Structure 1
Amino acid sequence: MTITAELIMIPIPAIGHLPPVFEFSKRLISQTNRLSVTIVLIRTPFAPEIESFSDSLAASCDPDRIKFIRVSGPNIPPLESIKSAHTFFPQFLDSQKDAVRGIVARSAGSGSGNPLLAGFVFDMFCSALMGTAAEFGVPAYVFSPPNATFLGFVFHVQKLHDEERVDTTELPDSVGELAVPCLTRPVPRWALPDVVADKVWLPIMLGHTRRIREAKGILVNTFRELESYALDSMGGDDCIPPIYPVGPVVNLEIDDVDDVAYDDDRTNEIFRWLDDQPDSSVVFLCFGTMGTFGEDQVREIAYGLEQSGHRFLWVLRRPPSDHEPKSNISTDYDDLIDILPEGFSDRTVEAGRVVGWAPQKAILAHKAIGGFVSHCGWNSILESLWFAVPIAAWPMYAEQQLNAFQLVVELELATEMKLSYRMKGENDMIVSASEIERGIRRLMEEGMEKRVKWEEMSEMARKTLMVSGSSFSSTGRFVRDFLG
């Protein structure tokens, strides 16, 4: 094997963004022996856990084919001085250009026998660094961890803003919904992603989107069979670069959990309990790494679960105090027990489990799981599709409301828990126990038609990655395009 080309991947240093980039890197090197991948991680104070996480990823692969390089540029402010991630990241990434340029110059092979730098792939939210590719005389591609619908949505919003001077943060009350080319149905205002509904976020997202249009191509973590309408809506726009649907990009190594073993006794107890439950009888509730609720909402969820009569596995995280960084979300069960209703744990000791953390993919793969109450992060949606576990949508932040709208209304794949919910700290809306009970019953008892559609889509997701499948072919087309 002779490696002749090197590809530089630059993800956002976040738990939700690094794994898809790593998994896609593995897929790339499996399709060609000519390529190695270098993943450049930019250190930030927002994600201290990314260090150990990237170490574990690096240890699992051949360092001659995939390697990690960490960048620590100048002027990283102390965590306590940072007020908001969305105002910090654009300026911070811009300040790291010299550090990234230097690390790539030292890493990229230039001597005889070393692989030549063939191109860059930037996370869509790292677009401020795209000029680095031009400096090295190689093409810049973009990797979109969100789906094709989100990508088409932000392209449309940017076009509205620049050509028609439409400000999506100031839509008049008479505009209750927004027609977009990537969906067959208009998007209600409550489903607008934070990045186009917030005055601070909108100009940042517009800047990203303008720069993304300058890329040579866009890799999207989706597959044609799931989002053909959104993909086709962008295919006819000459101002949008070629789109490569390469998903589902998830960790596909967990297909059977019969032999799952963890060092943590509490996690092992979860699987022992699941092993004793009937097939498809347990509803799994998990809301992502940043998804938390206030105590009033926690009590309503507990009562709703209890009243539904269904078995459950609930991942519950206590949010940090007002004086703690968001990364300090507690997953210690001893910190959770006192916010549950009095007697709840005793009354549901046979029916369910409340945990502070659980390995989501392994849980979704377990035969006892029959439904998933999810925040509708795109990674979670793809994992649920892969393991054919139907979703009840309870979005919380970012683009999750748009994802939920797409799943429930546009594709008619999922059931609704509360589509218009939005996590806002002290002003969180409260979803009542009766609403939660009804949502769980719809998911577990009334969703046979959706369950069949979910299983069909799961089969398509698996076939699309097989040789001659649509995403396999799209990945091969990308490799040919940049390697020549």
Structure 2
Amino acid sequence: MKELQLVFVPLPGMGHLRPTVEFAELLVNHHENLSITILVIKAPYDPAGDALTSLSFPKRLHLILLPPPNHPNSDHSLNPASFIDSLVENQKLNVRQAVSALISGPDSPHLTGFVVDMYCSTMIDVANEFGVPTVGFFTASAAFLGYMLHIHTLRDQDNVDTTVLNFKDSGTEFAIPSFKNPVPASVFPGAALDKEWATFFYLHASRLKKMKGIIINTFEELEPHAVRSFCDADFSIYPVGPILSGGENQTVQRGSDIIEWLNGQPPRSVLFLCFGSMGYFDDIDQVTQIAHALERSGVSFVWSLRKPPPKGKVAAPKDYSNLEKVLPEGFLERTAEIGRVIGWAPQAQILAHEAVGGFLSHCGWNSILESIYYGQPMATWPLYSEQQLNAFELARELDLGVEICLDYRMEFGNVSRSGVVSAERIEKAIKQVMERESEVRKKVKEMSEISKRALMEGGSSYSHLGRFVHDMLNWG
């Protein structure tokens, strides 16, 4: 059989790049005549692309770092939504040239399709030029995919405008097929509430509907209702998760101090607080309330606390050079025996550690999957993107999380955060999530075992991966 080739185009950012690379590795290991080339778009706000190209990969998996576009808008003067679209749109020429080079030789593998990130959907135009189908790679939940497509339909058919003033505070609830319960407007993602982001959101939703299929980083047993909601869709879906970051060994050395500290703690005694690669609090009052809650709870903890980027900049948060400036006076000394406040955190290693017994999380989908896989119950504190919907699904639909808040928001265009969350509220959730014999803990432990079985031969995700390969072979 002639060798086949897929081209992947992921969005910059660790939360998109890592799952893409992991899925590509799964595919080449599953099919011996398949090769994959991942075209990596470099973004000034994220160094992940450079880091990934320095790693080693299977023989039939290649990464190409695309050159900067002609007009990279490096001054970040655009709205973030426009910045992301411009960044991807301006790479079309480079993608065309890279793919042309890949297929130009007489012995080049046969190009069978493009797999593009949910927010790189504009690359469907390039795939069409090469006469091959496009499959979406959806790094969020099946429930969110259903939400995204349904809200696009509501806007097109019923003129529902989610960007009107006070929409999120209207108390309105929506029946969305991928959710069992009515979804309140208060947990709609910021991208549906802000006028500039909404354009971005709806455009990508419309393109996703035109794709041959959509690969989703989830597994059937986690989201059975959401997965079933696509049974009549015009495209195929492939729930192949949980796709987890397998490159943690590359970061162990960087986080070795905190792992060493955890080695000395009792099993299931430590709470891990982490708000993702782009999460931060620019309100010192909120940082103070978290510190008070931790101290009052008496729970051992590891807290990843990051410094906000400069106002108006699209950039990842950095580590604080002096934590004492942002924490209550004497906090570090008073909690020295039971806690550690750090900057960047090796999240997967910490969640996998036997000393950790709970996770206070921003509810990014990758973090949710990691937490479930490692059997850690979560306390929900969404910040941005679709995290409010994720928190709602986790706490209200799946009963796998303890609710701190569902509708908290970082500053986001015209959508402001909902005030400071009190120490009392945080403390209550901390005690609930760390409770040894809670129903949530039992359910998470059960789902952890199911998530592992889903990836094994005969498991649901393994079977969907095989179905994707079978369908790909029949594309022609």
**Stretch of structure 1 that moved more, 276-285 or 75-84:** 75-84
Q: Distance in 2 between matches of 1:370 and 1:298?
A: 22
| Equivalence for 1:307 | 296
Offset of residue 50 of structure 1:
2.5
Equivalences for 1:33-112 in 2 at 5 Å?
33-47=32-46, 49-56=47-54, 59-62=55-58, 64-72=59-67, 74-108=69-103, 110-112=105-107
What is the percentage of aligned positions where both structures have the same residue?
43
| Equivalence for 2:123 | 129
1:146 alignment partner, SS class: coil
Cα 1:447–1:413 shift into 2, 3 Å? farther
| Equivalence for 1:471 | 461
**8 Å CA contact 1:110, 1:116 repeated in 2:** no
**8 Å CA contact 1:192, 1:399 repeated in 2:** yes
| Equivalence for 1:363 | 350
Q: Distance in 1 between matches of 2:274 and 2:285?
A: 18
Task: Give yes or no for the alignment of 1:201 onto 2:236.
Answer: no
Q: Distance in 2 between matches of 1:44 and 1:363?
A: 28
Offset of residue 454 of structure 1:
0.3
**8 Å CA contact 1:144, 1:219 repeated in 2:** yes
Moved over 6 A (4+): none
**8 Å CA contact 2:73, 2:83 repeated in 1:** no
Q: Distance in 1 between matches of 2:5 and 2:290?
A: 49
Which of 319, 325, 333 aligns to 1:338? It is 325
| Equivalence for 2:376 | 389
Offset of residue 328 of structure 1:
5.3
Offset of residue 52 of structure 1:
2.6
Which of 454, 472, 475 aligns to 2:444? It is 454
| Equivalence for 1:168 | 162
| Equivalence for 1:182 | 178
**8 Å CA contact 2:219, 2:240 repeated in 1:** yes
**What are structure 1's unaligned runs of at least 5 residues?**
none
| Equivalence for 1:212 | 208
**What are structure 2's unaligned runs of at least 5 residues?**
none
**8 Å CA contact 2:408, 2:417 repeated in 1:** no
Task: Give yes or no for the alignment of 1:436 onto 2:426.
Answer: yes
Offset of residue 384 of structure 1:
0.4
Q: Distance in 1 between matches of 2:393 and 2:423?
A: 25
Offset of residue 190 of structure 1:
1.4
Across the two proteins, how many residue pairs are aligned to each other? Answer: 468
| Equivalence for 1:247 | 241
Offset of residue 65 of structure 1:
0.8
Deviations 1:202-236 (A, max 9, x none): 12211111111111111000000011101111212
Q: Distance in 2 between matches of 1:472 and 1:137?
A: 29
Which of 139, 145, 151 aligns to 1:145? It is 139
| Equivalence for 2:267 | 279
2:195 alignment partner, SS class: coil
**Which one-letter code corresponds to 2:303 in the other structure?**
W
**8 Å CA contact 1:44, 1:76 repeated in 2:** no
Which of 112, 116, 119 aligns to 1:118? It is 112
Deviations 1:326-358 (A, max 9, x none): 4252214x3323211111011000010000111
Q: Distance in 1 between matches of 2:105 and 2:251?
A: 45
Q: Distance in 2 between matches of 1:482 and 1:327?
A: 37
**8 Å CA contact 2:71, 2:90 repeated in 1:** no
Offset of residue 177 of structure 1:
1.5
Q: Distance in 2 between matches of 1:399 and 1:26?
A: 27
1:284 alignment partner, SS class: strand
Q: Let me know the Cα RMSD of the aligned residues.
A: 2.0
Cα 1:261–1:475 shift into 2, 3 Å? closer
Q: Distance in 1 between matches of 2:391 and 2:417?
A: 21
Q: Distance in 1 between matches of 2:159 and 2:437?
A: 43
2:424 alignment partner, SS class: helix
Q: TM-score, normalised by structure 2?
A: 0.94
Task: Give yes or no for the alignment of 1:290 onto 2:284.
Answer: no
**Which one-letter code corresponds to 1:236 in the other structure?**
D
Offset of residue 95 of structure 1:
2.7
Q: Distance in 2 between matches of 1:361 and 1:84?
A: 32
Offset of residue 173 of structure 1:
6.6
**Which one-letter code corresponds to 1:90 in the other structure?**
D
Task: Give yes or no for the alignment of 1:231 onto 2:227.
Answer: yes
Q: TM-score, normalised by structure 1?
A: 0.92
**Stretch of structure 1 that moved more, 378-387 or 427-436:** 427-436
2:319 alignment partner, SS class: coil
Task: Give yes or no for the alignment of 1:403 onto 2:390.
Answer: yes
Offset of residue 97 of structure 1:
1.6
Deviations 1:29-79 (A, max 9, x none): 1111010110001223332x13332224xx2213x3111112225433343
Offset of residue 460 of structure 1:
0.7
**Which one-letter code corresponds to 1:200 in the other structure?**
E
**Which one-letter code corresponds to 2:35 in the other structure?**
S
Cα 1:296–1:44 shift into 2, 3 Å? same
Q: Distance in 2 between matches of 1:261 and 1:41?
A: 21
Offset of residue 412 of structure 1:
1.1
Cα 1:51–1:377 shift into 2, 3 Å? same
**Which one-letter code corresponds to 1:152 in the other structure?**
G
**Which one-letter code corresponds to 2:65 in the other structure?**
R
**Stretch of structure 1 that moved more, 442-451 or 287-296:** 442-451
Q: Distance in 2 between matches of 1:309 and 1:150?
A: 36
**8 Å CA contact 2:268, 2:357 repeated in 1:** yes
Q: Distance in 2 between matches of 1:461 and 1:109?
A: 41
| Equivalence for 2:258 | 270
**8 Å CA contact 2:242, 2:451 repeated in 1:** yes
Cα 1:399–1:116 shift into 2, 3 Å? same
Cα 1:452–1:263 shift into 2, 3 Å? closer
Q: Distance in 1 between matches of 2:470 and 2:159?
A: 39
